[in-house]
Amino acid sequence: MKLTCDAHPKINRGQKTHADSGKLIGHGLRANFLDPSTTNSYVYKNKNLDPEIQRIYDEDGDSFGEWLYKNAEDHVPWSVLSYETFKQKVNLNYEQKIGAVFCAENYEAAGHRDKDRSEFAIGFVYEIGIVKEGYFIYPEYGVAIKMTSNSIWCWLTQAVHGTAKLNLSEGDIRYTSAITLTEKTAKAMEKEAGITKN
């Protein structure tokens, strides 16, 4: 997660609709910024990477995403059902990846709903030291989840969710990641597959 965070530029979510702080980056497939009816990959900070270095970065991000998805399949299988249904719709085989992996460093977000096609986002958290506070919150349900380093969790993308403010006073670092399929990327994949809405 750290290498992926270091290799990609920060995503600007837009403070009016999605107030956040910290560093959030994307790796993998997304809707093309210039032509939303097609897909391409998230860029790297250095656009002129040596091909061997880019291959290593790609494999690192891809293998992490595959590991996270496989663990979700094994331990929270209902969280991947909407991804598998979408794969069938756009004729992707079982082994093909879908959507993007988002990695973050000390990321905080106010309560919001995601514009995602996937029913669940699948997350992983890893801390260097112990970050105090920083609960994952579902305000509509009155639920706060205490984040534990080296653990996987998932959440409903359309339910309001966010994080409590992190306490980083002792220099600790929290890395988080999530797999999700954004609505923009889903629409682009459908168009590439020749699927149009009636």
pLDDT digits (tens, 9 = 90+) for 57-113: 999 999 999 999 999 999 999 999 999 999 999 998 877 878 789 999 999 999 999
- The enclosing H or E element of 138 equals strand 136-138
Arithmetic mean of pLDDT over the chain: 91
* pTM: predicted TM-score of the whole model, two decimal places: 0.90
Specify which residues 27 forms β-bridges with: 101
- Measure the N-to-C terminal CA separation of the chain; round to a whole number of Å: 40
Question: Where do the domains of the chain lie, and which CATH numbers do they carry?
Answer: 2-192 (3.60.130.30)
Instruction: State the Cα–Cα distance between residues 53 and 68, nearest whole angstrom.
Output: 23
The token pair at 153 is: 């969790």
Asked if 26 contacts 8 with a C-beta cutoff of 8 angstroms, the reply is yes
Evaluate if residue 36 carries a pLDDT over 60. yes
Instruction: State the Cα–Cα distance between residues 3 and 57, nearest whole angstrom.
Output: 8
pLDDT digits (tens, 9 = 90+) for 140-163: 889 999 999 999 999 999 999 999
- What is the gyration radius of the CA atoms in the chain, in angstroms? 17
Identity of the amino acid at 43: V
- The enclosing H or E element of 108 equals strand 100-109
Specify which residues 167 forms β-bridges with: 132
Asked if 1 contacts 8 with a C-beta cutoff of 8 angstroms, the reply is no
**pLDDT score, position 55:** 93
Specify which residues 178 forms β-bridges with: 102, 123
